[in-house]
Copies of this chain bind each other. A is one copy, B any other.
Amino acid sequence: MRIDIDRDRLVGTMREQAAIGGTEGGGLHRLALSDADREARDWFVDCATAAGLDTRIDAFGNTFARREGTDPDAAPVLAGSHLDSQPDGGIYDGALGVVAALELVRTLDDRGIETRRPIELVNWTNEEGSRFPPAMQGSGVWAGAHDIEEEYAKTDADGTRLGDELERIGYRGDHPAEPREPYHAYLELHPEQGPHLEETGADVGIVTGIVGLRWAEITLHGQANHSGTTPMQHRSDALVAAADVVTAIRRLPGTLGERTVATVGSLDVQPDSVNVIPETVTFTTDLRDPSEGVLETAVARMEAEVAAAADREGIDYEVEGTMHAPSVDFPDRPVEAVADATADLGYDGRRMVSGAGHDATHAASVCDAAMVFAVSEDGKSHTEDEFTSWADCYRSANVLANAALDLADAVGE
């Protein structure tokens, strides 16, 4: 059985959510646990209630909405994403996955379709990690990757505790933040956030897994001194050593897997004065690859480059691993459900590995998971300019709906 979602209703619902925390630049400022996030959460609960779903909120604010199946013992299919945004994010990232899941149950209701398995929608707490670290926090707590008390204690830049904010906005729920039963599958639709689909002319992405990721913070301890009076041979310049590593990191992927990416995104110099030799430089490295073996090699080479660069300037250093996310291979069953739906709908689907982490990373440790990617214009992401055409929103949501229906077993088919 194939269904066709209501494109106009999908677009209308996307616009409704985009009005909550909307920016003048046409994007979203809807940080996790802010007032705007509360408003978006309330809107989601209202939509789910209007669709006749039972909603429940867990102790970390993850919000579930359940459409019962005909088999009371069947494990449910979970579908959703997140409604929080980056500080200057776009209107699609996260929201498209939640809206598409809503549109799925509305379409089933329109058509009077029952499923053997329950279908649950989910809005995860704090996927972005922009206000409180880490990213994918709510799904991580739910999947048991993080301790809930430690995450409650996280603070934002103003020192506000996450737990207090959750309480304040009324989303510290009564249900335990954990899977309350076995789940059959988790499906998530998300914009690609990269250029791959657009470049290959594909309609949708059939996501077969998520790259592994290693983050580190590196500190180099040079010696501050006067830039005019200190001969070059007397210098221990922390920024020079850091620059060597930045260059090496840029070169690293070309010597490893063809899908390796490596980035130095953040760098801080102290004392940061035009005429003082840099004493301390702290910077981050972000290494990703679908292969754990390649990642291990990448980390080893990065560390060797740091050691060599520090040695050249005669300085000490520290390397601290700050995030270690193993690569995820989605199992065949849900991936093929996505692939079959794509093919049946006549879309050109492209199999690909996600370069970004998603809530599906954690969900995949609880049950079979898979993802659908929508085309991102120019691959733009985490910016107000993020763009997915309504045609692409429709196509990808249609794939999500049909794959979910397949996994949930339409009754009477």
Q: In the complex, how many residues of chain A place their beta carbon closer than 8 angstroms to a beta carbon of chain B?
A: 59
A-B contact pairs, 13 of them (CB 8 A): A213-B228, A225-B380, A226-B356, A227-B261, A229-B354, A239-B264, A240-B247, A243-B244, A263-B275, A265-B278, A266-B272, A268-B272, A274-B322
Given known contacts A246-B243, A261-B232, is B355 in contact with A226 (CB within 8 Å)? yes
| Chain B residues, CB < 8 A from A268 | 272
Partner of A286, one of B227, B250, B262, B354: B227
| Chain B residues, CB < 8 A from A276 | 265, 382
Given known contacts A195-B234, A244-B247, is B383 in contact with A224 (CB within 8 Å)? yes
| Chain B residues, CB < 8 A from A286 | 227-228, 274-275
A59 to B264, CA, bound (A): 49
A234 to B195, CA, bound (A): 9
Is A231's CB within 8 Å of the partner chain B?
yes
Contact string, A208-233, partner B, CB cutoff 8 A, digits 1/0? 00010101000000001111111110
| Chain B residues, CB < 8 A from A240 | 246-247, 250, 264
Contact string, A267-307, partner B, CB cutoff 8 A, digits 1/0? 11100111111100000101010000000000000000000
* Contact between chains at B193 and A229 (CB < 8 Å): yes
Closest B residue to A263 by beta carbon equals B227
Closest B residue to A273 by beta carbon equals B265
| Chain B residues, CB < 8 A from A192 | 229
| Chain B residues, CB < 8 A from A254 | 232
Given known contacts A230-B261, A356-B229, is B237 in contact with A250 (CB within 8 Å)? yes
| Chain B residues, CB < 8 A from A382 | 224, 226, 276
Q: Which A110-148 residues have C-beta < 8 A from chain B?
A: none
| Chain B residues, CB < 8 A from A267 | 239, 267, 269, 272, 278
Minimum CB–CB distance from A114 to chain B (whole Å) comes to 38
Is A194's CB within 8 Å of the partner chain B?
yes
